[in-house]
Structure 1
Amino acid sequence: MTASLFSNTTRRPLADELRPQHISEVIGQEHLLGPAAPLGIMLANQQLSSFILWGPPGVGKTTISRLIALDAGYEFIQLSAVSTGIVDLRRTLAKASDLRASAGKATVAFIDELHRFSRPVQDALLPAVEDGTIVLIGATTENPSFSLVSALLSRAKVFTLNRLSNAQLGTVVERAERHIGKSLPLTADAHQALLAMADGDARYLLGLCETLFLLDESALLDVPALSAVVQTRAPLYDKGQEEHFNLLSCFHKSLRGSDVDASMYWAARMLQGGEDPAVIFRRLSCAASEDVGMADPNAMVQVVTAWQAFERVGLPEGRLFLAQAISYVATAPKSNASYLAFDRAAALARKTGSLPPPKHILNAPTKLMKELGYHVGYQYDHDRPDAFSGQEFYPDDIAQSSPDPLYVPNERGFERDIKNRLAFWASRRQSKR
């Protein structure tokens, strides 16, 4: 087996040679392929409806589509949205229509990278899907909610494929070793490192295996030697698409949840994926205000100062400033009282409209304004005991309704002191009434 595999210069890639020939050989995705799972039920009934397979690279989207179509007795036509234009698509639809009319056989049109079709091309698929000319199976690595037209989504179920676990990738390696007839020349630690390098992608893993099978089996590679032989894969991360927002969300929620380790992890994931550090600092700033707020006003100072230092120094040393800011925000006491207060203030402003302000807090730069009573009765707070006059600043209509407080501090961090101040001022106001 080894000689035929490596001596033939026109041999197929190992990933193609090991492509499953029956649906039972597919590794993983039991949640879709099991007897009681959606695709398993379709296959058992030999009746397919249009669906979209959404998942990361190398988890079996193309293989599953082909095997399901052939096992169910459908004609299978494979297209790629990268290289297929509207003319090619119409030719395929015409061929499927002729096959249906002449032989009564249904056609599965599998379209890889379906999200790369423009909206007009996606729209061109709709009539053929609607009248049953084709059963559409699309494959995409991007969230269909953002990348596919709603009319197409309404006619096709969306099934999510999972990245393969290290245990499942280990099964892939075992199959490759049996196929080649030799073991990978790796120590146990290097073997685990190899699975981690694959990052859930069986196709990429088999590409690495092809390189390693060329080496002498007797000289086992440790982790540093493995890294020298094969390239470390760049993390899957699209700065302009869903993954960008997903990881930012994970980062922010970890900060809010006071999990400093997870916060560090998600920030590192984004940096390794090529994210602009300014994006991470912007989210840190939001968390410092929204989730820490007045419980620790220094959180915003720490973030902005670290951001400024980062801009002056840059990477790699700048990651120290980022790490310090993350540590501060994640471990700071939390309060969203200021955030909620402004939401309540906005709601009150919408409800009350353009109420006039009380005249005593209006300046009177003209004679007419003085005659109208502007500024009359204003008390300069610094002239009062404790620099507090207790006068009213709300419009009269709001003040007379005795509104509930908008800003309600909690008992965490610095807001405990603020709460005491507010209680003191409230008692002073009450004593004046």
Structure 2
Amino acid sequence: MTDTSHTRTAEGATQQPRPSRLHRLLRYIPLIAPVLLWVVPCGVLLYTGQHWPLPVTLIGTALFVLGLIGMPLAMKRGLGRRQQDGAAIVGATLLGASWVLFTWSVLLGVLLRLALTVAGVGESQDRARTVTWAVLGVAGVLLAWGYAEARRVPRVRRLDVQLPRLGAGLDGLRVVLITDTHYGPLGRARWSARVCERVNTLEADLVCHTGDIADGTAERRRAQAAPLATVQATRARVYVTGNHEYYSEAQGWVDLMDKLGWEPLRNRHLLLDRGGDTLVVAGVDDVTAESSGLAGHRAHLEGALNGADPDLPVLLLAHQPKFVDRAAADGIDLQLSGHTHGGQIWPFHHLVRIDQPVVSGLSRHGTRTVLYTSRGTGFWGPPFRVFAPSEITLLVLRSPHRPTSA
């Protein structure tokens, strides 16, 4: 087979392969996506047979044009160099609203029209307006409900996880996972305190935070993160970096978490002993750490396990689920991750699956490794959660060697 990985020019220089059509198309997604998010709902709601009065059509069109222009401008001001929280809130809210409108314009624009056709309702102005009001009604209800879901204190999700190598002395170990708190432009210091209060009701032996603490630097979000100092655990509170830390001076977050009493597991481990048995609790930096350019930041599993007895069970903290390929190759017993938010706003989880092997829940990989992927404790960007509820997770570790009750 001919090697086409590169070709030589006449001068002997190496010529890089041309990007595929798919990769060239992906470059334009940041430009195409906002247009689709606003143009499709505009067409479905205003221009598909409704024949609205001219003022309604003009005002409606103007609102969609303002959204199309305002959303990227607000997000640029909010997430760019200026870091204007007010602009970030506006841009993120418009992004979430446009996604919900787009989704239900497509679904109801097709499905409801199909249902009306089957029911014998022909093309008419009344039929077109029925679709419009249905889309607006569903979108309005979902946005209101999604906002309440995003802002509430998460419910506790409890599950038992059996690990074949876990010693009997560690049976019943209570591990609480919080992740993706994303303290950000919407001030959530009170919410943060209530989350910590709920964590403290779970009587955890080990509390883990698997990254994406905030959007913004530690200095800007310190007040929202401060309640993390009140979290209680009988053994340890441990933390690893997420990708968003590397957008916001990651070392500042590592230092702040250390000051708040959390132990940053940056490619290292600690030993948790109970009842004569030992669990290795390890952590790695996020997979994006190395590209950040920060000295010493990278996902290094070998370093995290350096010096650990290979016969001991390992609980690994890694922000992104896709790290599980490396974890499974190394025989890790349990990996805890976040990052996906469960998709956050349905049906975005289908796009998440392009990048991650799992969107949420418990899954098995390789011959030994169990992965738990949390839907996240907070939310990123759009202040909505639609069919992807947030969670605080209580994992009770179970040993196959525990004595059976009489």
TM-score w.r.t. structure 1 length? 0.22
- Larger helix proportion of the pair: 1
Structure whose alpha-carbon radius of gyration is higher = 1
Q: Which has the higher contact order (CA 8 A, sep 6+)?
A: 2
Q: Which has the higher strand share?
A: 2
